[in-house]
């Protein structure tokens, strides 16, 4: 895996890992994941001991929104990439004691067959994760914890008390256009709790800055 760069987003614990494609007249080859290369990168030292134990794939139609999901016991970090289509990834800080708690950011992740690189976004434990799609899209994600149905919850992406102040303005506007006006959501996600309701829930104490 040839890592080209590791970028910290507006919430610094959220990272974008860009890795190379090797192109010739036949097409391209890329090594999408190698644990030792991720562990050796100085920008990812904090997560060097992370082991990915579950791989997931999903397909979403245009205007679908998923999330905002999170899990504890075990915690689940996610390494996510677009396989085909166009995903906008959403990340919400739910860590009590964090300077950015309640703030949500978005990252634009279109697939391009012609690009010289591909990207993962790393969403650590302590964040609620979701995404929306501006065209039919297939994504892949690697998880640092196995799915635990008794220890999961979700905050509605439509919750009015999310703080978008760190989010790119154009992506916030796209969210309003695609999700708020035309979004296709599961009933579970649409009816998810607000941020305020979640933080008043005793289970939210599982997510504290510096411990998860």
Residues with a catalytic annotation lie at 69, 141
From the CB of residue 53, how many other CB atoms can be counted at a distance below 10 Å? 13
Contacts of 2 (CB under 8 A, 6+ apart): 19, 20, 22, 31, 37
User: Longest Cα pair distance anywhere in the chain, in angstroms?
Assistant: 57
Which structure tokens are listed for 133?
Answer: 């799609």
User: What's the N-to-C CA distance of the chain in angstroms?
Assistant: 27
C-alpha 106, offset from chain centre: 9
Rounded to whole angstroms, the Cα distance separating 89 from 108 reads 7
Contacts of 111 (CB under 8 A, 6+ apart): 82, 83, 84, 85, 86, 137
């Amino acid at each position: 895996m040839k890592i080209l760069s590791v970028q910290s987003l507006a919430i610094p614990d959220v990272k974008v890992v860009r890795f190379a494609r090797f192109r010739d007249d036949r097409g391209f080859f890329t090594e999408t994941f190698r644990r030792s290369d991720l562990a050796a990168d100085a920008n990812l030292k904090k997560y060097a001991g992370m082991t990915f134990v579950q791989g997931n794939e999903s397909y979403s139609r245009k205007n679908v929104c998923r999330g905002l999901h999170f899990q504890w016991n075990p915690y689940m970090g996610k390494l996510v990439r677009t396989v085909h289509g166009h995903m906008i990834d959403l990340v919400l800080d739910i860590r009590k004691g964090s300077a950015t708690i309640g703030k949500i950011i978005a990252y634009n992740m279109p697939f391009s067959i012609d690009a010289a690189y591909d990207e993962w976004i790393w969403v650590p434990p302590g964040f609620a994760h979701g995404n929306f799609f501006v065209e039919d899209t297939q994504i892949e994600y690697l998880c640092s914890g196995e799915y635990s149905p008794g220890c999961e919850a979700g905050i509605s992406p439509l919750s009015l008390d999310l703080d978008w102040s760190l989010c790119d303005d154009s992506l916030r506007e796209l969210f309003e256009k695609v999700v708020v006006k035309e979004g296709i959501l599961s009933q579970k996600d649409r009816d998810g709790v607000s941020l305020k309701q979640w933080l008043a829930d005793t289970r939210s104490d599982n997510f504290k800055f510096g411990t998860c």
